[in-house]
């Protein structure tokens, strides 16, 4: 992305609301998101933190265009978004690689319908394999690589068609702390290199503060923005930097305040899934 | 002329190529006379053997998969009663006997002992009605015995393994008896011929209308076979021919003991045969095996037989029998003993 | 039968592997049975007509093999099986795919199909025999039906259980419908489809035996069995049983082998 | 496998009914259905009946117009009358109860034996080593393969039917029991070891409860197989029962009776399947 | 536990070695643990950190008595351990509750063979339900409660028969960061209240430092103790305390050093599971 494109690539969310039909909720509808306003200039890195169920994933799904019934407006570079599109990419929490495709082919999925020649596609894929450091594993299938590697493939797939906005839904949630730290560093490096707008959903406040220019703290029932914290620390950041720790604890305090974090609730029993998974 | 003439035979048959015994038709099949007859005419012969016996042949007739059927009396009637358009051309194997067999050590000595015993009967076949008549003649009804519906093979296995106490059946039992596994306690041999079973060759109505000439040729061959099979000097050879079906010649020997071949292998549609078929209709109606009556007279189509007899000079070869099974005076025959 | 139950059945069709160590112990029972059998036959402990000596069975087997009867019967059966299996599987794939991909069609046909498959297939035999006559046509129809049902059920189920998560990936990258079906739905449904085909192979073999038994006679391995029963030859009956079991086993084994190959070819295992 | 809960907005984007092949009466409503669904509902409810209605109509018409000969396809009213006659005369009940008795006795015997065999093999490695190979070999022979053999051994009576039905039920029960017992996760068994469970406690309180769903699957499959074999066995050798009704109808060339019996077989099979499905849900939902 | 028992409840591990038969390893055997020496006085809280595969779980399994072939000695209060025993409890990473038992019954599993009357057992179970804050959920089944709650049930089960040593194998590994923080606090509270010896295996260095008196850093190939770090911060501890951060970063640095953390390796493919699980 060059500097000229910066203005027209800004993401604007205005008065966004989303309801789901729900038999459990009063009135048969669950207000998942309510009056969300967010302005993300091009090239920014925004983290979204919040308790489980506060609508973080839903927000990403709306920006991505996977849900089409909502209130309010979402525009990218002034254009209202309509359905999915190549200018918005995503990395899902559960990597969602196709188990029947190898690493290379899975990354190529991101270019499936891109207007490129096969040779160009091959080149781009190879580039991105290198970007996420998976040279030598091009022919491996998802079950043959570790969770951390799979997540890197998913990131490569999300990046390969150069979206203007990359959405990341808890991309490191399932990883152990060490792999996680490594991938955070890698993501930071990629972001610095590519200057793509990034929206990262995470449960991990430290991660949010470590990576973002801005941390959006959400609260549930219904999902709203509680606070937006600017993180104006220079990159590369250090986790033991006192300013970093102060900012982190600031957000964390907000977070641990009763009422924000809904009391731990048992998940709605879903006997059907249990029955077969047992 | 049709490309192929398909003849369905209501028995599983045996041997390689498949053939069957106990009927002049088996001779024609075994000697390939029909194939010879049609050689060069462009018409082929296809023989089809049905393990499901009579009923299966009806199914084949109903969807026009066969043109001719060799069937026992009751199954052909059942087909007719259910609306199958057939014509009965000639008798082919009459007065087949019925036996009651029991395991060797059984205490059953006569029909009367069958009361409350488990007895195998192949329902819906021509043995079924005769069995009932035999029982009736001994003061029993079908309800007095515990009938089990078994096909031929199953009945044999059942009797030997004491699954049933007795079985009604035909000549296939001689083999079992000769193995020492069964004892015959009742036989229709030498009894009222009303207790015997008849079999005949039928043709599909549509085929008959379309190809009368071919019908005639088939009948000609069957008559020729009947003649050969009625000749006492062929007795040993006849049984040997039939034995190719897998049933030992000894069984046929026993089945035909003390009976003239001409009496058994006559093709004539005589008064006896008509009377038997009529009686079967009445019995079947009474037992609700068929739901509407069948007129026998317009079902029988003797013209092809007549023509064949005439052509082969056999008009007086066989004795005609009256309704009771007694020879009709005047129709004297060479074959009468 | 629900799909889950059918899958469970598949698990039982592919017999559990006994442990590798102490294999010899598996032979104790069969050997003991054969010894006992030989002794009983030798000393005529039981009704001798029922109890033929093991040697007699071997002799029968040799005779069947030498005269080519076994081959004729078996090839007739296998040819039927193959035809019915192919027709049923192809039909099942098409029907299952339609049911899985086309909701309207599913609502239209699904319930009727579901009811239809509850009727024991064997109950159809008399009707099939009247409708399709004698000979191989009726048998093949019957076999095809036997093969069709599991393929339809599993294909449809496999397609409909394509993970929503993967379908969303396809949406994100702008896959067309055709791309979605061929590149996401079908690969994802493939294992289920294979399960269906596997079951079809086994079911159609069972149906082959049934068809030969209950439809009018002809050549076939079940006819060997019937002949043995009718002519009262235990040796032939036992021989027929062994052949039928052996063929079933061979089919199972080759299907499992193919499955492993397929898994490797698709490059996934977890 | 999430057979029941995934719904795939695939080509139309609409919500599909929960189970992949919905039962004719009222498909389950998904918890979160799109709003436009109710409007379409009424037409939906009728849709599944379209095909059966069309087939029935065609049948009526074909019979009335004489397109199909009644020997090949008896008119529907004829089948209905036969069915009614059978029911009213009590004959149907006789056959149904004979069949049900057979299937119940056979299934009970087979299931018990299967449970015993399966648990022996599942719990004892050496029992497994001795029995499993022979068992695997015998399993390969279908019921119809056994029939002539068992027939020669025990004859044609009820024992034959019981044995064959029991054999059919035994196989899935035994194999699922074996599998259920064998598949106890080592992780759960270790919990038992940590808390000093005796072998008896291990079996009764860990292995068994864990195997319950698998056992039930086996029992259900066993019953389905028993019902299937019942028809087969009765087709070949019997004097009463639904299979006999079919065979006898065939022998007398009365297809109306055959079809009536097929309808009854189908109805009972369907009912059994529903009941077992319900029971399975109960067992696995609360075990 | 009273003070008198303290001496005799100390856990001593001497020259411990463990090998597994392995077809992949050279020589057919894999040296998983090598020459481990550890001395845990009664009432201590010891954390064990180390890369994946360095033998942490194996070490716990040996102490627990689940494995019986090893070299070296393990004694508890001077007695060599032999098999499992009620004086050693464990909380597994994957909670391992019995799905067919409810919360109460699952906790009671820990008392299954304890020499107590049924009434005493009931009382103890009720106490421990309260200890982990699950009042009101006694009748719930594992599938009806959240992962965090299930992990608390597992902790209650591990505690209910008052073991002298409680082993914890990544008990919070599968939880999200917030629930995790809450349960760490809870575990700390329980430990302070009960003064049971605790051995905690974790991937999370912060967690290890936050909870323990002593952090044992292990290294793989073969599994050895690399270093033991004493944490003499007072309780309650604070995550933003500079001393805490310094200690954490000290351990972490050790950890991130190349060679300690083995290269990320793909899992071995397991084709047999494909057919049904696929
Ligand atoms: N398709 C749906 N239908 C009905 N309700 C839904 C649907 N998707 C999400 N919800 C509900 O919306 C709410 C927000 O869900 P969402 O997945 O956005 O939360 P989240 O913040 O991402 O939580 P987590 O951190 O657990 O991922 C939850 O209460 C959820 O149950
Ligand atoms: N039963 C076993 N048989 C053979 N090898 C085993 C066995 N159990 C563990 N191993 C091997 O021993 C090594 C150490 O395993 P262990 O589970 O103790 O590691 P860990 O430190 O707990 O790792 P993680 O952090 O991933 O849980 C691994 O290489 C593993 O493959
Ligand atoms: Mg989410
Ligand atoms: Mg571990």
* pLDDT tens for each residue of B198-221: 999 999 999 999 999 999 999 999
Nearest CA to C240 among C212, C216, C204, C217?
C212
Which region among B23-37, B64-78, D138-152 has the lowest average model confidence (pLDDT)? D138-152
Nearest to D156 among B63, B84, B158 (CB): B158
Residue D185 CA to ligand 4 centre (angstroms): 17
Domains in chain A: ranges and CATH = 1-78+165-173+191-263 (3.40.50.300), 97-162 (no CATH)
Query: What span, in angstroms and rounded, lies between the C-alpha atoms of C59 and D125?
Result: 37
| Ranges of chain E whose pLDDT falls below 70 | 1-8, 24-25, 174-178, 255-278
Handedness of CA E103, E104, E107, E109 (dihedral sign): negative
Q: Is the CB of E58 under 6 A from ligand 2?
A: yes
Cα-Cα-Cα-Cα dihedral of C249, C251, C256, C261, to 10°? 140
Looking at residue B321, the DSSP 8-state letter turns out to be B
Per-residue confidence (pLDDT) for residue C41, from 0 to 100: 76
Which listed CATH number (1.10.3720.10, 3.90.180.10, 3.30.70.1280, 3.40.50.300) goes with D75-286?
1.10.3720.10
Nearest CA to D151 among C29, B151, C244, C204?
B151
For the segment A256-270, what is each residue's pLDDT rounded down to a tens digit? 654 434 444 444 443
Spatial neighbors of C161 by CB under 8 A, at least 6 apart, are C189, C192, D1, D2, D3, D6, D8, D20
**D144, D167 contact by CB (below 8 A):** no
Nearest CA to E132 among E166, E109, E159?
E159
**C232, B160 contact by CB (below 8 A):** yes
DSSP-assigned letters across all residues of D120-143: HHHH-HHHHHHHHHHHHHHHTS-H
| Cβ burial, residue C190 (10 Å; 0-12/13-18/19+) | middle
Nearest CA to D245 among D263, D228, D229, D227?
D263
Query: Could you tell me what percentage of chain B is helix, strand and coil, using 3-state DSSP and rounding each to the nearest 5?
Result: 45, 15, 40
Per-residue confidence (pLDDT) for residue A124, from 0 to 100: 92
Query: What span, in angstroms and rounded, lies between the C-alpha atoms of B222 and B34?
Result: 8
**B184, B99 contact by CB (below 8 A):** yes
Handedness of CA C120, C122, C127, C133 (dihedral sign): positive
Per-residue confidence (pLDDT) for residue A270, from 0 to 100: 38
Could you tell me which residue, E276 or A172, shows the higher pLDDT?
Answer: A172
| Ranges of chain D whose pLDDT falls below 50 | 1-39, 287
Spatial neighbors of E38 by CB under 8 A, at least 6 apart, are E11, E12, E13, E16, E46, E216, E225
Interface test with C, best of D53, D144, D149 (most C CBs within 10 A): D144
* CA A28 to chain CA mean position, Å: 29
Interface test with A, best of E178, E247, E254, E261 (most A CBs within 10 A): E178
For the segment B245-303, what is each residue's pLDDT rounded down to a tens digit? 888 899 999 999 888 888 898 998 888 999 999 999 998 888 888 888 888 888 999 99
Q: Do A278 and D4 touch (CB under 8 A)?
A: no
Residue A68 CA to ligand 3 centre (angstroms): 18
**B200, B76 contact by CB (below 8 A):** yes
Nearest to E274 among C7, C11, C263 (CB): C263
Nearest to C133 among B49, B52, B63 (CB): B63
Strands (DSSP E) along C7-151, which ranges?
none
DSSP-assigned letters across all residues of D131-200: HHHHHHHHHTS-HHHHHHHHHHHH-SSHHHHHHHHHHHHHHHHHHHHHHHHHT--HHHHHHHHHTT--HH
* CA E51 to chain CA mean position, Å: 15
Q: Do C174 and A90 touch (CB under 8 A)?
A: no
- Mean pLDDT in chain A? 83
Spatial neighbors of B252 by CB under 8 A, at least 6 apart, are B21, B22, B171, B238, B239, B242, B243
Chain D CB contacts of E90 under 8 Å are 194
For the segment D45-61, what is each residue's pLDDT rounded down to a tens digit? 788 888 888 888 888 88
**C255, C201 contact by CB (below 8 A):** yes
Could you tell me which residue, B241 or D64, shows the higher pLDDT?
Answer: B241
Spatial neighbors of A236 by CB under 8 A, at least 6 apart, are A188
Could you tell me which residue, A80 or B1, shows the higher pLDDT?
Answer: A80
Per-residue confidence (pLDDT) for residue E188, from 0 to 100: 87
Residues with CB under 5 Å of ion ligand 4 are E 57
Query: What span, in angstroms and rounded, lies between the C-alpha atoms of B156 and C107?
Result: 51
Question: In chain B, how many H helices and how many E strands?
Answer: 14, 10
Per-residue confidence (pLDDT) for residue E258, from 0 to 100: 47
| Exposure of A168 in the CB half-sphere (CA atoms within 13 A) | 33
Boundaries of every domain in chain C: 51-269
Query: What chain C residue is nearest to A154 in terms of C-alpha separation?
Result: C169
D41: left (phi over 0), alpha (psi -120 to 50) or beta: alpha
Residue A58 CA to ligand 1 centre (angstroms): 6
Q: Do C230 and B181 touch (CB under 8 A)?
A: no
Chain C CB contacts of D72 under 8 Å are 130-131
Per-residue confidence (pLDDT) for residue A64, from 0 to 100: 93
CATH superfamily placement of domain C51-269: MetI-like (1.10.3720.10)
Chain E CB contacts of C260 under 8 Å are 271
3-state secondary structure of C217: coil
Measure A85 CA to nearest chain C CA, in Å.
Answer: 7
Per-residue confidence (pLDDT) for residue A119, from 0 to 100: 94
**D180, D209 contact by CB (below 8 A):** no
- Cα dist from E77 to C243, E7, E88, E164, E199, whole Å: 67, 7, 12, 10, 16
Residue E18 CA to ligand 2 centre (angstroms): 11
Question: Quick check: B289 contacting D, CB < 8 Å?
Answer: yes
| Exposure of B61 in the CB half-sphere (CA atoms within 13 A) | 35
**CA-atom Rg of chain A in angstroms:** 19
Q: Is the CB of A58 under 6 A from ligand 1?
A: yes
Query: What span, in angstroms and rounded, lies between the C-alpha atoms of B260 and B251?
Result: 16
**A47, A67 contact by CB (below 8 A):** no
Between helix E147-160 and helix E177-194 the angle, nearest 10°, is 20
E99-111 burial, b at 16+ Cβ within 10 Å, e below that, comes to bbbbbbebbbbbb
Q: Is the CB of A31 under 6 A from ligand 1?
A: no
Nearest bound ligand to the CA of residue A24: 1
Per-residue confidence (pLDDT) for residue C180, from 0 to 100: 93
Spatial neighbors of B319 by CB under 8 A, at least 6 apart, are B262, B263, B266, B327, B328, B331, B332, B333, B335, B336
Spatial neighbors of D204 by CB under 8 A, at least 6 apart, are none
**E64, E89 contact by CB (below 8 A):** no
Chains that touch E (3 or more CB pairs under 8 A): A, C, D
For the segment C162-221, what is each residue's pLDDT rounded down to a tens digit? 999 899 999 999 899 999 999 999 989 988 898 899 889 888 988 888 888 777 656 788
**B266, B319 contact by CB (below 8 A):** yes
Query: What span, in angstroms and rounded, lies between the C-alpha atoms of B299 and B87?
Result: 5
| Exposure of A243 in the CB half-sphere (CA atoms within 13 A) | 8
Residue A33 CA to ligand 1 centre (angstroms): 10
Using a CB–CB cut-off of 8 Å, the residues of D that contact B are 69-72, 148, 151-157, 160, 236-239, 244, 247-248, 250-254
Question: Quick check: E162 contacting D, CB < 8 Å?
Answer: no
| pLDDT of C80 strictly over 80 | yes
| Cβ burial, residue D59 (10 Å; 0-12/13-18/19+) | middle
DSSP-assigned letters across all residues of A205-216: HHHHHHH-SEEE
């Amino acid at each position: 992305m060059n500097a000229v494109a910066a203005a027209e690539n800004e993401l604007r969310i205005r008065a966004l609301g989303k309801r789901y039909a729900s038999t459990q909720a009063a009135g048969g509808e669950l207000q998942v998101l309510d009056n969300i306003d967010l302005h993300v200039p091009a090239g920014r890195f925004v983290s979204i933190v919040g308790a489980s169920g506060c609508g973080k994933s839903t927000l990403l799904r709306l920006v991505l265009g996977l849900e089409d019934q909502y209130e309010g407006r979402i525009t990218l570079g002034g254009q209202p978004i309509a359905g999915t599109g190549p200018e918005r990419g995503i990395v899902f929490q559960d990597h969602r690689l196709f188990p029947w495709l190898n690493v290379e082919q899975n990354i190529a999925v991101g270019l499936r319908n891109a207007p490129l020649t096969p040779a160009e596609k091959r080149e781009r894929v190879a580039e991105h394999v290198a970007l996420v450091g998976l040279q030598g594993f091009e022919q491996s299938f998802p079950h043959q690589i570790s969770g951390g590697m799979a997540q890197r493939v998913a990131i490569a797939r999300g990046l390969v068609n150069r979206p203007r906005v990359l959405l990341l839904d808890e991309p490191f949630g399932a990883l152990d702390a060490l792999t996680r730290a490594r991938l955070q560093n890698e993501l930071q490096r990629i972001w610095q290199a590519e200057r793509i707008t990034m929206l990262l959903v995470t449960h991990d406040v430290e991660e949010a503060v470590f990576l973002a220019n801005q941390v959006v703290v959400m609260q549930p029932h219904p999902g709203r923005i509680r606070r937006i914290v600017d993180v104006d620390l220079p990159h590369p950041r250090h986790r033991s930097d006192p300013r970093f720790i102060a900012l982190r604890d600031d957000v964390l305090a907000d977070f641990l305040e009763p009422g924000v974090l809904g009391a731990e609730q048992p998940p709605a029993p879903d006997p059907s899934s249990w029955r077969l998974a047992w | 002329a049709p490309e192929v003439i398909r003849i369905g035979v209501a028995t599983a048959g045996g041997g390689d190529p498949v053939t069957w015994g106990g009927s002049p038709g088996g001779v024609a099949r075994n000697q390939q006379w029909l194939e010879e007859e049609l050689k060069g005419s462009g018409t082929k012969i296809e023989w089809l053997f049905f393990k499901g016996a009579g009923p299966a042949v009806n199914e084949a007739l109903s969807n026009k998969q066969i043109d001719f059927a060799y069937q026992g009396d009751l199954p052909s009637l059942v087909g007719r009663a259910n609306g199958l358009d057939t014509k009965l051309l000639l008798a082919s194997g009459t007065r087949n006997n019925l036996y009651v067999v029991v395991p060797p050590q059984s205490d059953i000595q006569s029909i009367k002992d069958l009361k409350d015993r488990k007895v195998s009967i192949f329902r819906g076949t021509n043995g079924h009605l005769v069995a009932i008549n035999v029982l009736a003649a001994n003061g029993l009804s079908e309800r007095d015995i515990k009938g089990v519906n078994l096909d031929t093979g199953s009945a044999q296995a059942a009797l030997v393994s004491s699954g049933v106490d007795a079985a009604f059946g035909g000549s296939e039992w001689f083999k079992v008896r000769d193995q020492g596994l069964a004892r015959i306690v009742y036989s229709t041999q030498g009894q009222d011929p009303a207790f015997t079973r008849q079999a005949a060759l039928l043709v599909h109505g549509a085929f008959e209308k379309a190809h009368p000439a071919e019908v005639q040729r088939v009948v000609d061959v069957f008559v020729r076979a009947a003649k050969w099979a009625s000749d006492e000097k062929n007795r040993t050879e006849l049984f040997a021919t039939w034995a190719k079906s897998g049933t030992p010649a000894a069984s046929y020997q026993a089945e035909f003991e003390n009976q003239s071949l001409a009496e058994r292998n006559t093709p004539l549609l005589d008064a006896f045969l008509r009377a038997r078929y009529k009686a079967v209709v009445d019995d079947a109606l009474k037992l609700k095996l068929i739901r509407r009556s069948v007129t026998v007279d317009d079902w029988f189509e003797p013209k092809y037989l007549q023509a064949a007899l005439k052509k082969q000079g056999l008009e007086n070869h066989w004795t005609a029998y009256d309704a009771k099974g007694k020879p009709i005076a005047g129709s004297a025959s060479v074959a009468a003993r | 039968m629900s799909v889950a139950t059918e899958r469970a059945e598949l698990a039982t069709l592919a017999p559990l592997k006994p442990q590798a160590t102490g294999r010899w112990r598996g032979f104790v029972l069969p050997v003991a049975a054969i010894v006992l059998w030989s002794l009983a036959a030798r000393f005529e402990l039981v009704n001798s007509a029922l109890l033929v000596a093991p040697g007699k069975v071997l002799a029968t087997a040799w005779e069947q093999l030498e005269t080519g009867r076994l081959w004729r019967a078996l090839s007739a059966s296998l040819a039927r099986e193959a035809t019915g299996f192919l027709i049923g599987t192809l039909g099942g794939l098409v029907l299952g795919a339609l049911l899985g991909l086309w909701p309207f069609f599913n609502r239209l046909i699904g319930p009727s199909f579901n009811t239809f498959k509850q009727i024991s297939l064997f109950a159809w035999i008399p009707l099939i025999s009247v409708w399709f006559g004698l000979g191989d046509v009726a048998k093949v129809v019957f076999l095809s039906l036997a093969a069709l049902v599991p393929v339809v059920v599993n294909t449809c189920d496999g397609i409909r259980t394509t993970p929503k998560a993967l379908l969303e990936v396809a949406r994100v990258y702008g896959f067309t419908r055709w791309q979605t079906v061929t590149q996401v739905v079908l690969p994802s449904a493939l294992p289920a489809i294979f399960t269906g085909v596997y079951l079809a192979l086994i079911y159609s073999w069972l149906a082959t035996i049934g068809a030969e038994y209950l439809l009018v006679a002809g050549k076939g391995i079940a006819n060997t069995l019937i002949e043995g029963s009718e002519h009262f030859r235990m040796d032939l009956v036992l021989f027929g049983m062994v052949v039928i079991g052996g063929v079933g086993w061979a089919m199972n084994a080759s299907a499992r082998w193919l499955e492993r190959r397929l898994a490797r070819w698709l490059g996934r295992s977890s | 496998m999430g057979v029941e809960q995934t719904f795939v907005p695939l080509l139309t984007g609409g919500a599909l009914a929960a189970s992949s092949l919905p039962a004719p009466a009222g498909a389950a409503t998904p918890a979160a259905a799109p709003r436009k669904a109710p409007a379409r509902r009424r037409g939906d409810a009728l849709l599944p009946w379209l095909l059966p209605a069309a087939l029935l109509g065609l049948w009526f018409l074909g019979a009335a117009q004489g397109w199909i000969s009644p020997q090949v396809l008896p008119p529907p009213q004829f089948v209905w009358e036969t069915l009614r006659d059978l029911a009213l005369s009590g004959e149907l009940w006789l056959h149904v109860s004979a069949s049900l008795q057979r299937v119940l006795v056979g299934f009970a015997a087979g299931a018990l034996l299967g449970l015993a065999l399966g648990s022996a093999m599942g719990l004892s490695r050496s029992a497994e080593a001795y029995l499993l190979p022979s068992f695997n070999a015998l399993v390969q022979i279908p019921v119809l393969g056994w029939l002539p053999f068992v027939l020669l051994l025990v004859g044609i009576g009820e024992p034959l039917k019981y044995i064959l039905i029991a054999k059919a039920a035994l196989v899935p029960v035994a194999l699922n029991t074996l599998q259920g017992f064998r598949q106890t996760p080592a992780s759960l068994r270790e919990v038992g070891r940590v808390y000093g469970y005796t072998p008896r406690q291990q079996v009764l309180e860990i292995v068994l409860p864990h195997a319950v769903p698998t056992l039930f699957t086996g029992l259900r499959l066993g019953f389905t197989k028993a019902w299937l074999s019942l028809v087969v066995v009765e087709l070949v050798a019997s004097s009463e029962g639904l299979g006999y009704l079919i065979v006898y109808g065939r022998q007398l060339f009365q297809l109306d009776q055959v079809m009536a019996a097929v309808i009854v077989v189908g109805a009972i099979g369907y009912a059994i399947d529903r009941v077992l499905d319900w029971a399975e849900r109960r067992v696995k939902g609360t075990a």
